[in-house]
Structure 1
C-alpha cells in the first residue's frame, strides 16, 4: 500500500495531503519513521570521527524529519477531530513514543558525544544561536536522565513510559465526559436565553442528533447559558456537570490517574537530584524557583480576593432580591454578574454579540498583523482534515512567509479549549522551511457565527501564538517559534489581545451581523469601560488553579489530590461561590502532559510582561507605532528560544517589569 505519510508531498507549500491520508496509514508510517530515526541516531552515536558541533549537535537537529511529519499530522487530527480509531492509536502510540525518546535520552554513547562537544564549547567559535542550541541540547539530555546508570536509568524509562500512558488516558477520559453529556431543553427551559444562545444550542442539538436545542460542556455554549438562563435549577445541573468532568466514577474517572501522575513526577525529580518536581520544572523557566512563583501569585491573590468578596455581597443581594433561597452559589455568579454588568454599564450581551462576527474578528486580527508587521493573508484552497477548517497563505512584500490554518468551531470530536500548534516550524537548517501554523478554537457554530467578547479575546490570543511561529527567523528548529521558556511563551499571545481593545480596531471591524453598521460609539465606550468588569472573579478562579498546581508539585505528592486541593483552597480563603477555573480531574493543562505542570502560573508571569510591553506602545506613538512593532519582531517574535527570555525582554523594553502594570491593567490597583 502506498502510504502518503511516507512520500514527498507535492502539495502547495508542502501542506499535508489530508484528503489522501486515512487512519490505517498512521501505524505503519509511525513504525517506519521510528526505524528511520533510530538509524539516524545510531549513525550519530556510533560515528567514527571525533565529536563536533556539526556531526553531533547539528546532526541531531537534522534527524527525525520523517517522524516529525507523521506526528504533526496525527496529533493535529487526534486533538481536533478524534474518532475511536484515532483514540486507539493514541493509546498505542503513547508508550511507543515515550520508549523511543527515552532510549535516545539515555543513549550513553550519544550523550558522551554531546558532553564532549559541551566540554570544548569555549574553543568552537560558535555563534550565539549555536551556543544556545548546544547548551539546550546538553541540558536536555541531563534533565532527561542521560547521566543515570543501572537501576535508576531503568526506572526513569519506566516512569516516562507510564506518564505517557496516563497523560493520554487523562485526555481521552476528559473528551469522553465532554462528548457524552448534554442537556436537552424543552420550550419552557429557554427562559432568559437570548436568540444567539438558542441558535447555538439548536446547532449543538443537530450535532448531537437531537431534534431540539441542547446545552453541551463546550465553554462557548455553557458559559452564556449560565449567564442568561433564569432557570436556577438548570444552571445548577449544567454547572455541576461541567465541573464534574473527569470525576464521574467509572472508566473515565481521572482522580486516581492524577494521583499517580503526581507521584511519578515526584519520583522522577528525585531521581535527578531535585527536592520535588516544582524545583526541577522551574529551574529552566524565567521564574527559576517555586517561591518566586508563589510570591507573584499571592501579590495578585490578595487584592483579587478582596475585590471578589466585595462583588459577592452585591450579587448575593441581587439573588435575594429576586426571591432566591440560600447563599450565592457558583452556578449563580455568572448570571447575576451579567445582570449587574447590564445595569451598571448599560451593556447587553445579547445586543453586543452581533457586533462580534467570527469572520470580522479574523479580519481584524489579520489587519492588525498587516499594520504591525506587513503581513498579508490570502485564502488558500487546499484539502484539510475537516470541512470547518480554512487556510490562508501568509506573505510579506510578495514573499511567502507561512501557511495559517484556522479551525474555529466546537464539535464532539474536538478536545476542549483553544490552542496553537505548528505542523511545521520555521528553520534554515538543514534546509530552509517555512511554517505551517494552526489555531484551534471551540466557538459555537452559527450563521453567521457570533462570538462573545471573551471568545474574540481567545481568537486574538491564539493568533498571537501564531504570529510567534510565523515570524520566527532562526537557523535551528529546536529554538524556533514558541520553543521558549513556558513562562515566556504566553507573552506574544497575551500581548496581542490588547489590539482587540484598540478603539479604532473595534470601530472598523465590530460591525453588526444584520445591518453591517459599525458599533455605536456609546456601545464601544461601554465595552472598553467594562473591560475589567468582574475581574475579581476572573483573577480568583485563575490564581486558585495556579496555586493548586504549584502546591501539588512543591513538596510530597498528595495521595488524594482532591483532598489536598480542598486544603489549599480553604487555606487561601477561596470564596464559596467561585470555583477553580480548572479543578484537578479536568485540569488538562497540568495532567494531559508535562507542558504546564508547575507552570499554569505562566499566564500571569507573562501578563506582567504583556501589560508592560503594551504600555511601551502607548508611551511611543500608539498601538501601531512602527518602531515598537519592529522592536517587538526583532527582539521577541523572530528570535524564538535562540536567546534567554529575560535577555530578550530586556532588549525590547530596556528592563524587566514589575507587577504594578498587571494590577493596574486588571483594575486591582489605582
Structure 2
C-alpha cells in the first residue's frame, strides 16, 4: 500500500501518520476501503457453512478495519481543522457512506444469516457480552430497515442518503456563519472589558487577519464580552449575530434544511412501523418513551423557571437603576448577572480567571484520573494534524492502555462546541487494539491560555468521555467505550465535572498565572459558594432546547420549525430575556446527525445519575475513595455497552436514582 492511510502505520502506538497524509489521499483510500469492506460483507453473506456467532456476528465485528482507519482520520480533521477541500470531500463522502451502509443493512442474504443466529440464541453457549452484541446487531439491522422489501426498502435507502447530505450541509453552513462573522473592536468600544477579554480579542483579531481586536462567535470570547461590555448597543449586535447563526438567509441558511430533516425522520420512522420519530429513537434508550422524557424535563422546568423569573426581576431593577428605560433583554442578562454575582458573592471573573490556566487544568484532570484509576500521562512527540494539538501516552502500572490527544483552541477551521471521539476504539477481537482518543474544545488562545470556570468544567466533562473510552475493557468494538445508550453516555462526563469542584483539587491546581500562588482560601470558598449561581437561567435555556427537540419529533414533523419552536416556547412561558441554548438553525446536536435527535434531554437524564453517583463518593468518605472508584470503573467505565445501562448503574449504586439529587445539586430546591 502506497497510500499512507492504508499502509501499516509504523508510528508510536500506530497513531495516524498525519505528516504523510494529504487531502488527495482520502478519496482513493476511501474507495479502496469501501470495496474491501464489500468483499468482506459478501464473504459473510455467502458463506456456505451454517451460520454461527463466529462466522456471522464475530466476522461482522472484524470487518471494515481499513475503513475505520480512513474514516477515523478523515472525520477528525474534517471537524477540527476543516478547509475547502475537506468540506468538498465531506459533501462527496456523506451520500457515498450512507449508500454503503444502507446496502449492508438491506443485504437480504446477510440479514438472513444474522436472523438465523438470533433465532438459535437459546442453544448457543455465548458469553454475556456475546449475547449483548448479538442482540444489538440483530436489532440494528431491523431498525435500519433490513426487513423492508421492494419500494419501501428503496425509499429507506433514499432517505438515509438524503439525511446524510443534509446533516453535512447543516454543519458546514453553521461553520461558515461562525467563521465569516466578526465585529471590529476599536479601543473606544472596549468600555468595561477586563484585560483578559481585551487580550483575547486581539488574539482573535490576529487569527482572522483583522487590524486590531475583534469579537468573534467563539463562545469563549462572546460570552465574556456579553458579561462585561458596558456598551449595550454592541452587546445587542454581538448577541443577535450569535443567535442568528444558520438563519441569515442565503446559501448558509439552515431553516429549510431543518424542516426537511424532520420530515424525512418522520417518514423513516413510519416506514419501520413507528408512529413518529421520537417513538422510534427512544425505544433503545434508558428513558424508553417520550412521556418519561417529558416528565423529567417538566419536573425540572417548573422550579427552574420560577428561579429564573425571580432573578429576572432583580436584574431588571438593576438595569432601571442604571437609567436604562427598557425591558430586560437577552443581551442584558449576562451583563447584569455578572454584576449581581460580584455583589452577592464578591466574585469577580477578572480576578478569578488567572487562576484557571489551561495547562494547570489539564494537569488537574490528569491528576484526578491518576488518583482514581492509577493512570499516568507521558507527553508524546508525534506529528498531529494541527500545531495546537498535543498527545500523551496513557499508562497504568507501566503498561500502555491508550493515546490521548488534546486539541483545545478555537480557530476558524474548527466547528463550534466541544467533543470527544475515538480515532481508534478499544477492542480484543479480531486482535487487541488500544484506543486513540481525542478531546476537541474551543477555548480562547492566550499566553498563557486562561479559562473561565465554565471552560474548566467543559475540559473535565470531555475528559470524562475520554476516560470512558480509555478504560474500556471489552472484547467487541461495537460495545466499546461510549457505545452506550445516548441517555447514559453523558454519565461519565458529567460525573467527572464534580472533581473540578473538589476543594483540594482547586487548592492544588488553581494557581495564579503570574505569581504561581494557589488560589486564596477565601476566593476558593467564594467559587464553591457561587457554583449554583444563575442556575435558573442555565437550566431554563437548556431545558427549553431539550423540550423543543422532543416536541419536534414526538408527533407530525412541523412544516415550519421556527413557527413550531415559537409555539413551544410560548406554551412553556419562557422568560423573554432567556433564549434557547441552541435555537433550531444552529442546533447541531440535533440536525448535524441523528446522535442527539430526540435525545438532547440525555444530558439531564444522565445528570440525575451523576449527582447520585458522586454522592456515593461523598457517602464513602471522600472524592477519591478507592473502593467506589474501583466500582465505578468495573461497572461503568470499563464495560462500555456490553450490558444494559440500567443494569450497569444498578450494579454500581444498588438502585436507580430519582430527580431529587439533581434539583438539589442545581440549587433549585433547599
1:294 match: 294
Q: 1:382-437 CA distances to partner (integer Å, 9 max, x unpaired)?
A: 00000000000000010001000000000000000000000000000000000000
Deviation (angstroms), 1:225: 0.3
1:97 correspondence with 2:117:
no
Distance 1:636 1:27 in 2: 38
Matches of residues 554-569 of structure 1 in structure 2 within 5 Å? 554-569=554-569
Q: 1:191-241 CA distances to partner (integer Å, 9 max, x unpaired)?
A: 000010011100000000012110000000000000000000000000000
Deviation (angstroms), 1:2: 2.6
Look up the SS of the partner of 1:652 in the other structure.
helix
Distance 2:442 2:64 in 1: 32
2:580 match: 580
2:191 match: 191
1:211 match: 211
Matches of residues 355-366 of structure 1 in structure 2 within 5 Å? 355-366=355-366
1:498 match: 498
Distance 2:578 2:449 in 1: 29
Deviation (angstroms), 1:621: 2.0
2:452 match: 452
Deviation (angstroms), 1:3: 1.0
Q: 1:162-210 CA distances to partner (integer Å, 9 max, x unpaired)?
A: 0000000000000000000000001111000001001110000000001
Look up the SS of the partner of 1:407 in the other structure.
strand
1:137 correspondence with 2:137:
yes
Distance 2:113 2:394 in 1: 40
Tell which deviates more after alignment, 322-331 or 165-174: 322-331
Structure 1, unmatched stretches of 5+, are none
Distance 1:241 1:118 in 2: 53
1:351 match: 351
Distance 1:169 1:210 in 2: 28
Look up the SS of the partner of 2:5 in the other structure.
helix
Distance 1:447 1:428 in 2: 42
Distance 2:371 2:580 in 1: 38
Q: 1:26-81 CA distances to partner (integer Å, 9 max, x unpaired)?
A: 00000000000000000000111111000000000000000000000000000000
1:385 match: 385
2:610 match: 610
Deviation (angstroms), 1:249: 0.2
2:74 match: 74
Matches of residues 3-82 of structure 1 in structure 2 within 5 Å? 3-82=3-82
1:419 match: 419
Matches of residues 594-633 of structure 1 in structure 2 within 5 Å? 594-633=594-633
Distance 1:522 1:322 in 2: 30
Distance 1:296 1:100 in 2: 38
Distance 2:629 2:643 in 1: 19
2:641 match: 641
1:651 match: 651
1:259 correspondence with 2:259:
yes
Distance 2:292 2:174 in 1: 32
Distance 1:238 1:2 in 2: 49
Distance 1:100 1:148 in 2: 17
Matches of residues 435-584 of structure 1 in structure 2 within 5 Å? 435-584=435-584
Distance 2:156 2:238 in 1: 42
Look up the SS of the partner of 2:590 in the other structure.
helix
Deviation (angstroms), 1:159: 0.2
TM (norm. structure 2) is 1.00
Look up the SS of the partner of 1:6 in the other structure.
coil
2:405 match: 405
Deviation (angstroms), 1:282: 0.2
Distance 2:575 2:525 in 1: 31
Structure 2, unmatched stretches of 5+, are none
Distance 2:187 2:134 in 1: 64
Query: Between Structure 1 and Structure 2, how many residues are aligned?
Result: 670
Look up the SS of the partner of 1:5 in the other structure.
coil
1:277 match: 277
Q: 1:490-531 CA distances to partner (integer Å, 9 max, x unpaired)?
A: 000000000000000000000000000000000000000000
1:150 correspondence with 2:150:
yes
Deviation (angstroms), 1:6: 1.1
TM (norm. structure 1) is 1.00
1:329 correspondence with 2:322:
no
Distance 1:610 1:246 in 2: 33
2:319 match: 319
Distance 1:127 1:60 in 2: 17
Look up the SS of the partner of 1:311 in the other structure.
helix
1:246 match: 246
1:429 match: 429
Look up the SS of the partner of 1:508 in the other structure.
helix
Look up the SS of the partner of 2:402 in the other structure.
strand
Look up the SS of the partner of 2:596 in the other structure.
coil
Distance 2:546 2:167 in 1: 19
Distance 1:543 1:405 in 2: 32
Look up the SS of the partner of 1:568 in the other structure.
helix
